[in-house]
Structure formats: C-alpha cells, structure tokens
Structure 1
C-alpha cells in the first residue's frame, strides 16, 4: 500500500497494509478499497468520509485535511494530497502495475480529427500485424472487446484500468484520443506515451477553458507529458495550423518532432488532390519521394488525418511506400463523412464546431453538388459563443439551412436556435424545426437530384440528451427511414 501512496503525506497508518480495489465514487466501495476523496463540482465526499470508511475503505487519500477528524479513531490508513488529480493518476498507475510501461501508447489531441486519426492509425497498425486497442469518443475497445464508452478520455482510475485490461488481453499498442479536459484534469498524468499527434486547434469548450489561449495550453500538456515520462518519445504536428506551428517552434530543440501539412517546410508535404464521391487521390512529398495516395475516405480534412497517421508511422521507421499501399484499405469511420446514396447524397458527420463545419462544407462544395442542404444545431450547456459562428458558416456554404436541436441538455432548445440565428443574415431559405427527426424528414423531402444533405453535429451518437433524459436517436437510422419513405412515394407515382 505504501508504495501506492508515494508523494502523499501520511496522516495515520492502519494495521492492515493491503488494498485490493481503488475508487473515487462513494457508492463504489468494496472491502479493502483505496478511496480517493476528490472534491467534485457538485459533491464533496469529505462530508461523508466516515461513512465511506465504514463501508470498507481500508485507505483514504484526502484533499481536505479537516476531514481527518472524522477518521482518527478508525483503524485505517489516511494520507493527504496537495494535488489530488495528479496523485490520483499516479496512484492508479501504480495500482494497475504501471501498464503504460509495457505498451506503446499514442496520444492524439486537437479540436477536430482526433477520432478519425486514431482509427486510421489503428487500422494501419492492425494491417502491419500489431495488436491494437483504441480509447476514444466512439468507444474504448480492443479487437472484439468493448471496455467502455461515453467519454473521449476516461477518469484516471478508469484510464489505467483500461490500459491494464488491454495489456492483459494482448495489446501492444493503444491509440488514445486525449481531450483538453483530460489534460487539464491530469487524467493521463503518469502515462508513458510512445508519442503523440496534434491535429489542429479552433474554438470549442470555451465554457470550460474561458479563452483560446487556455484551451491551447491544455492541449500542449500532451507534449509536456511526453517530455516528462519518455524522453525518447516523438510528436507529430499539423504545421499548417498556427497552434501546431507554435508547438513545433517551442519544442523542436527538446524532442523529436515531425510535421505534416501543405506548408513548404512540412516534413510530410501534402500536394495536389482530387475528390469524388467514391474516394480521393492526393500526392504527398516526403524527403524527395513523391507518394501517390488513394483513399476511400472523403474530405480535405481526411487528407490531413491520413497524413498525420502516415507521418507518425514513417517517423517510427515504417517504409513510406508500404504505408502508401495500405491506405486504400482504410475503412471510413462511423459518423465521419458517412454517406447514404440515392438520387441525392446524405452525409452524416460529427462536425459540431465552427471550424469542423467549415471544413466539411468546403469539402462538399468541391464535389460540385446541385444544392447543399444543411441540418444542424448546437449542444446545450456548452460553449455558447460558437453558436452564432456556426450559423454564419452554415449560411455561407449552404443553399438551404435547417436549424434544429442537437443535445439541448438543460437549456431551452429555442434559445439555442436563437443564439445560432444571431450570427446569420437570414438571406438563404431557412427553416427552424426543433424536433430533430422532423428536421431530417424536411431535408429529405426538399432534396432533389444531385443535392447533398449534410446532417451535422451528432455523427456516431445514438442518443439525444434532453433535460435529464437520454433517448435513443440515430441520425443515420432516421435518414434511412425517410429516404426509404421518399423512394416508396416516388415508386408509387411512377406506377400511376
């Protein structure tokens, strides 16, 4: 036990030195639990810390020394932390036998592209014969084993539990999306990362970070973690992104850092490309070698995501020609430029930030559709300042705009829509339909031959959060339903 508590201040030592479980939830206590008393935004476990001990906690790490008075007469070990978030991560890593020391953990951070880049890199490594786990927004999995879902990057206890489980199942690599919240809250502190990738940074999560600079500083912590726990680690950055260039300039003399993008000084330089609904082809230049790359993945942003993964693998010693040849085998990711084809095209995409919407819509423009019909909303109880920017961008790049609900949570959906409309001129054909299913139905009803419908914001999600209820909702399911109904109607007309 005492090795686990290294770095904390021991206030009291109990007679039993063993712990067999670790938790920071007061309802998740088993006999011989090591309990981390971390204050939450809505609840402080110190207020009921004696009850936690009586439930079976054999050791407790406090954040508030005053709570020690409730525990003085109990035969348990009590320690005090002056940085509960970091200590929780370090204790968790030790409890699960430091799993990252025996894994190649690759962290991917950035505003957009984390999920796609993680899954692309995982597919490459699988093709190369490696055993790969993924921790990310869609789910946490190793081969056929699903180990969790719901949060991009889990709490530090769950993070190290999953790494340990993946290692025990046979994983060699773990590709992990690392969110700004996770970095700010030290959820992955103590992890030995093999390396990392920075995709881009644009406005998001300002409800939490308050400004873009704080958001950037949180993202940048991934590089600092690599420097702290693995001096031989590598880092790959999008040099076209202003914040990516800042990372490069700050760290180029401190660790092995590699770049990708269209900039002339990129190590992996993206050149010309062609896009169609069946795939895209682009040329890249790496050390005087031209690479002709074909992919089923659509969108300019996926050229960047593929380039990030390719640069990482090349930096690790894989042959560029081999990686190029594997690229066409990469399968699209659910909810990321996911396509349904009819006389018109429906695209389901997770784009839920101004930058992601702009990139997605610009990619659609390059396909030269008849019209673009965009269905979108914005999440409730999240960054409100991005809503008018999203409205402005959608209006600029769409012919028809349908504003609807996303996950309103505890906000009034009408007010969220009004926030979006405040950034619009309302010069395009625009509809406000709060019910998301009816909004998708309207888009499909309006669609004509060679139009493209973009359903944006939820992507892979199969739920909608309204108040305290989580209801089943899948954009693609709904789109298929109304596409089928439209086709049936058209068939009936033709038979008359």
Structure 2
C-alpha cells in the first residue's frame, strides 16, 4: 500500500490540513469514479472545475483531497493538500503512486503536427522485430507488449498514462514509444515522466482552436524538450524551420535528421514507385514499402532513434525493408476497373499537401486525381479554407464532404471550406454533405486508371455526429462501392 508521504514526493505544496500518515489505495480526479479512501485531485479544467465536486468526492469516501483552493467546509478526518497547480501535482502524484514506471522503461516520445503515429508505430514494430518486449501509446491504439488497449486520446491523462506504463513494466517491456500531443504537454499530462529520448517531426498549422496562436503552439511543443534531462537524447528534424528552435537551451544530447540539410542522420530518396521507394540513409541503400517525402522523414527518424537506443545498424536496415504502412496512412483500395483509391489520415493543410504532392509526382499524364476531403467540427476553423484551397489547387476534381462534424452543422463546416476556393475553380468542386455519397460520387466520376484520395479519417472506423459515434470506415465504404460498380 502506498503511503501519502511517498505519493506526494516532489510535489510543490502550499499547505496541508490534516494527517499525512495515511494509506493511499488509489488516485483519481473524476468524482464519479471515487472509491472509499481514494486520493481525489480537484483539477481546474478548461470546461469543468473539479473543485465543485470536492463535496461529492468526500461523500463517496475520499479521505485525501489535493486542490488549489480549500472548500468552505472541511470535514473532520479528511486531509487537504493545497498545491499551486493541480495538473502539475496530478502528474507527479500519478507517477509516484505507480512507483515511477517511466524510469524502469526506455521511454521515447515524439511530438509534432504530422508523422507521430507512423513513427511510433514503426518504432514499436522495429523493436519487437529486434526481439524486445515493447509498449506503444498512439492515437490509433495502445499496446502493452502484444496486448491491445484501445486509445481514446493521443496522450492519455496522467493517471491512465502511468497505469499503462506500469502494466508495461509488469509485462516485462523494455521500451515504450509514445505520441506526445501539444495538449498533453500544455495540460501537464506527461509531468513526472522520464523520457530517454524525444523526437520532433515538424510543426504546421493545427490546434489553433486550443492554443489560439501559432507561437503558443510552438511553445507547447518546445516545453517537452526544455524538460529533458542530460542523460536523454533530443532528435530534431533539421529541415523544419522550427526544428532547431525546439532544442534551443535543451539539456539533452541533441541530434539532427533530415532529407535536405546537413544532418547527423541524412536520407535521400533515390527511386519512387507506387509499391515503395529506395532510400539512401547515411550512405546505405534500403528498399522500403513506403511512399513520399513525408515517409522519408518518418523512416529516417525511426532509423536514427533505433541507433541512438543502441540497435545494430545492419539489423535496423533489415527490419526497415520489411516494415509495411501503418493503418490509414496511404493505404490502397483498388477496383477491378483499374481505379486506385488511397485512404490517408491527412487532416491538416500540410499533411494534405504532402500526400497530394506524393501522388502527383508518381501519376502519369493520363491519370486524373480526384480528392474527397472534409474538416472536423469543433476544431481549428482557420485551417478549413486552407485545406480546400490545397485540394483544389493540386487535384483535377474535388468533393468536399463531412469528416467528423461532432456538434457543428456540417453545412457550416463546408461553407467555411468553400471560402478557400476561387470562383473560377468552382466548376471542379462538388459539395456533398453525406460522406458515403461523396465517396461514391468520386468513384462514379473516376475513369479506369484514375486515382482517388479519400483524406481526413484514415484509420478511424467511426463518424462522430452530434456527439454520437456511428460506424464508418473509408476503406470498407470504398470496397463496397467498387463491388457495386463492377
């Protein structure tokens, strides 16, 4: 059983009222799930203030309350620990409660706008192929060695995160690779974790609904690198204009990777075909089953990280040549009539531009490109018109349709997107609210040998409308439509 003194180790404390000689059977911040004796952390969230629920938590048996401000009523037998910031305290308390599992693993995190899921998933597969037990924390799914755990956020909350890391330790995992979102950095969900390595992929237009300014978005990402220890490594994309900004004043061992500028780990794309590309990494050629410059960066980051963790270079190159694409990232569905449909998670202007550019470099003169794309509701509105502009400027035909409208009217989202299209371009654009109908229309307009890009949802197997998730899988829909059109 954890003692309160241990759980509070390293936590900045303003005041304690009551006894600290208490056992802590569990920790949490959701008053709905409180059990008797639990340590309850009152968090001032962006939507709900947990301090309002302190009486509810006490009524359910909480004996320890961690808070930023004391409640008016302080019952006998309840210990109150006042802290300057409950979110910071939550991370440290969660890490202590689970006996700091991140220090028992070789934990590597990646942050950036695009490429996070592909990079961590390939690192997970890489080290499993190299014979290790490995954990994965990603947007798509979490793994404790080979046990699948569904993901609900890019980065789980601090309590769930430490619980998963502890499960990995108990399962004998030696490594864990995780996505680190800007939200999780800003909300201190990774507080108290020890990272052996950190990777920066790139930073482009995204999440301004949350961060408000691009500068605030950059600062959130940079905070991850600012907190690294001297024993850690920081691997940054030197080709990104903010790549070296991320590691300014960083205590870690700084290494660079890239495709264009001089770097510690430098790659060149020698050949590209629809079934893969030939990469030269630091003088060694390797054939991969991936396409596009963006994947050149992802694979170089995987190679560099593997070597920085001490893996054998020849073994790393061997495994790189075996690895296949990640679910929902540049995945193919082909029709019997010769139409190629590509499903990709691209949901930012830069990601969409990268995927379209990759297709355009490889398609032949007689192949048209049709793009089906939308934008998510209750998210950064400023990128909507930019995404539509990227699509219409680089494709032969565009169908604007719903993504995950969430709690917004999908027509409003599509109207925002249409603002990025010039009047003279409207002849090559259709707006179809129903996503299945939008995809079907693109399939019917496509001729043999044409290419359809269905962007935005990738691996997701649902569509969220008015807060309800309905089953929807772009790949399934494409196969069904291709079958019906034979």
Fold-level similarity (TM above 0.5): yes
Structure 1 stretch displaced more, 7-16 or 432-441 = 7-16
Specify the alignment match of 2:55 in structure 1. Answer: 50
Residue 70 of structure 1: aligned partner: 73
Structure 2 unaligned runs (5+)? none
Report whether the alignment pairs 1:92 with 2:97. no
Query: Secondary structure in 1 aligned to 2:6?
Result: coil
What CA distance in whole angstroms lies between the structure 2 residues aligned with 1:328 and 1:153?
29
Q: What is the distance in 1 between the residues matched to 2:149 and 2:5?
A: 29
Confirm whether residue 17 of structure 1 aligns to residue 12 of structure 2. Answer: no
Deviation of 1:354 after TM superposition, in Å, equals: 0.4
- Which residue in 1 is equivalent to 2:405? 408
Deviations along 1:271-330, one digit per CA (max 9) or x if unpaired, are 232221211112222xxxx11011112222111100011011222333333322221111
Deviations 1:234-275 (A, max 9, x none): 011111000113234x247x4311111123421111223222
Q: Determine which of 78, 81, 95 is the counterpart of 1:79.
A: 81
**Shift in alpha-carbon separation, 1:179–1:453, aligned structure 2, 3 A:** same
Structure-to-structure mapping, 1:291-306, within 5 angstroms = 291-306=284-299
1:201-247 deviations in Å (ceiling 9; x for gaps): 000001111111111110111112213xxx21001111100011323
- In structure 2, distance between residues paired with 1:272 and 1:160: 39
CA offsets 1:21-53 (integer angstroms, 9 cap, x no match)? 111001011111110011223322322322211
Q: TM-score, normalised by structure 1?
A: 0.93
Q: What are the Cα deviations for residues 464-492 of structure 1, in whole angstroms up to 9, with x where unaligned?
A: 111122111111111111011112xxxxx
2:347 alignment partner, one of 352, 370, 379: 352
Supply the distance in 2 between the matched residues of 1:246 and 1:48 (Cα, whole angstroms): 41
Aligned length: 475
* Distance apart, 1:10 and its partner CA: 4.1
Tell me the equivalent position of 1:261: 258
- Tell me, yes or no, if the aligned pair for 1:461 and 1:474 is still in contact at 8 Å: yes
SS in 1 for 2:242: helix
Match of 2:5 among 2, 7, 14: 2
- Within 5 Å, give how 1:404-443 maps onto structure 2: 404-426=401-423, 427=425, 428-443=427-442
Instruction: Tell me if the contact between 2:269 and 2:277 (Cα under 8 Å) persists in the aligned partners.
Output: no
* Alignment match, 1:493: none
Structure 2 length-normalised TM: 0.95
* Aligned mates of 1:48, 1:320 — CA distance in 2: 54
Name the residue aligned to 1:200: 202
CA deviations on 1:1-32 (whole Å, 9 max, x unpaired) are 12212432343224871111111001011111
Listed as ranges, the gaps of 5+ residues in structure 1 are 488-496
Stretches of 4+ moved more than 4 A in 1? Answer: none
8 Å CA contact 1:377, 1:404 repeated in 2: yes
Alignment of 1:351-390 (within 5 A): 351-369=346-364, 370-390=367-387
2:100, 2:429 → 1: CA distance? 54
What is the distance in 2 between the residues matched to 1:147 and 1:14? 38
Which residue of the other structure, out of 56, 64, 68, is the alignment partner of 1:59?
64
1:166 pairs, out of 162, 165, 168, with 168
